[in-house]
Structures are given as C-alpha cells and as structure tokens.
Amino acid sequence: MPPAETDADSNPSSAAYKSIVAYDGTDFEGFQRQAIGHRTVQGELESALTELGWRGRSLLAAGRTDQGVHASGQVIGFQLDWRHDPQDLTRALNATLPQDIAVRQTEAVSSEFHPRFSAVSRRYQYSIRIDATRDPLIERYAWRLESDPDLELIRGCSADIVGERDFGAFGSAPVEGGHTRRTVTEASWSATGSNLIFEIEANAFLYHMVRRIVVLLVAIGQGQEKPSTLQQMLNNPAADWQGGLAPARGLCLANVRYDPE
C-alpha cells in the first residue's frame, strides 16, 4: 500500500473505522483534498475528524469523485481513538459536518480494511430528466434533455459494455501508466415518467469513464452518432473519445461493495 494511501496514527489505542458517506457535490471542487481555499469533501471530513481527536495524515476513500459529482454510498476509512460505539461516532461527525455532507453509517473494521483496495465493485447512477423547461428542484441532480433518446436503442448498445473490456477510449487510469481494462457487470437503463436512470457497476472505473459513456449513449439515442460508434471505441482503446462529457451533476456514486456482503 503506498504511503500516500495510509491513515497513520501513532496512538496505539486507535481503532479502524469504515463510514458510508453521502454528499451533494454541487459546491465542492471534487472529493480529493486540494490547496487551502479549495472546498473539497475530503477536506470537510478531515476537519470534522480532527475535531474528534483524529491525528491521521489522510483519510482513505473508495473513490475520488470529480467536481460536481454526488455520492450516496461513498466509503471512507480512518483510525481514531474513540471510546464510544460507532453509532455515537456517526452522530458526532454529523454534528460537525456541513449540511451538504452526512455520514450515514459507521462500523468498526479490521486494520487491514482499505476502502479502495478491499472493494469488489462500485456502482454509479446517472440521472437524466426529459423536460423542455428548467426545473430548479431537479436541475442540480440530473442532466436535462429537451427530447427523449431512443431508450430501446441505447439499452441494446449498453449490452456491449458488459464484460471485461479495454475502456481506454473513454478514460484514463487513476494511476499514471496503469492499465485501462475494466470488468463491467451491469449497464442498464430504467425509466419512470420523465426520468431516466443509467446504472453501471464494475470492479473499478477509469477517470471520466461513466460520463463519456453516457454522453455517447445519449448521442446514439438521439441519432447524433451511429450505434456502431460504441463498438468502434471499444475495439480501439487508443482512439480517445472526443465527444465530450455528460454533466457532472447527473452522476452519483451509489454503492461500493465488499466481500462478504
């Protein structure tokens, strides 16, 4: 495990904890801590932990969401000398955190647990709203389209994503020089009224991978790209998709799965 990924705490009485965190990413410059003056989810969480006596260098996380991306199931790990039960720790953190972040659950875990490296899979949801007029109550959490994409067409194309593929055309590895093969176990669409939800689960994701796939699928569904384009990108991972990104506001890290669960 690289040194930058450790939550070192010299206090021998510290215990390891895992927390599930939800946040509205609208007003954050991403998850990962940055320089002073940049508001991040990690920075707010570490400030709250410090109020409770945390002395680690950096908390651990299952993933580093981009600016504007939300989460309902982000997972963090940290060590803390806490003499009460985990439910009290959840309450104590939420009493300190701002309103756009909440710890949903906390449990004690083995010191070997790592939110990123122990994960079996991650699940993201992407929300789309079909509406010709802006709705302020929805706009922060969905990509608004004025016309419907062909849902059956994009469902069929999404089946090509499932399996082990080289997704290099849709993103870069989080570590420089890392490989771009990923195994997708689900890529499905559901519709309720004017709302579309794309759900994708994989062992891991590339940087910007989901947002690039979504924008291509929508372009296919609206007749702006041929259905064959997706397969061409999968067959040519060095091609580098140039069609842009779906807006960050529609994306949410929904769940991180660990064995056994």
pLDDT-derived band at 214 (thresholds 50, 70, 90) equals very high
Rounded Cα distance, 121 and 250, in Å: 20
144 in the same domain as 233? yes
**Is the pLDDT at 107 greater than 80, yes or no?**
yes
Give bridge partners of residue 236 from the DSSP assignment: none
202 in the same domain as 90? no
**Is the pLDDT at 3 greater than 60, yes or no?**
no
Active-site hit among 9, 27, 66, 85:
66
Torsion of CA 37, 124, 195, 30, to 10 degrees: 10
Residue range of the domain that includes 40: 10-109
Mean pLDDT lowest for which of 50-54, 98-102, 136-140, 188-192? 136-140
**Is the pLDDT at 176 greater than 50, yes or no?**
yes
Read off the CATH number of the domain in which 215 is found: 3.30.70.660
250 in the same domain as 149? yes
- Report the pLDDT value the prediction gives residue 2, as an integer from 0 to 100: 43
What's the rounded mean pLDDT across residues 165-192?
93
Is the Cβ–Cβ distance between 57 and 49 less than 8 Å? no
220 in the same domain as 126? yes
Residue 1 maps to a domain: no
201 in the same domain as 94? no
Percent of the chain at pLDDT > 90 equals 86
Select the more confidently predicted residue: 243 or 70.
70
Residue where a domain terminates, one of 109, 131, 150:
109
Structure pTM? 0.93
- Report the pLDDT value the prediction gives residue 240, as an integer from 0 to 100: 80
**Does the annotation count 66 as an active-site position?**
yes
221 in the same domain as 135? yes
Cis amide bond preceding 260, omega within 30: yes
Read off the CATH number of the domain in which 105 is found: 3.30.70.580
pLDDT tens for 108-118 read 999 999 999 99
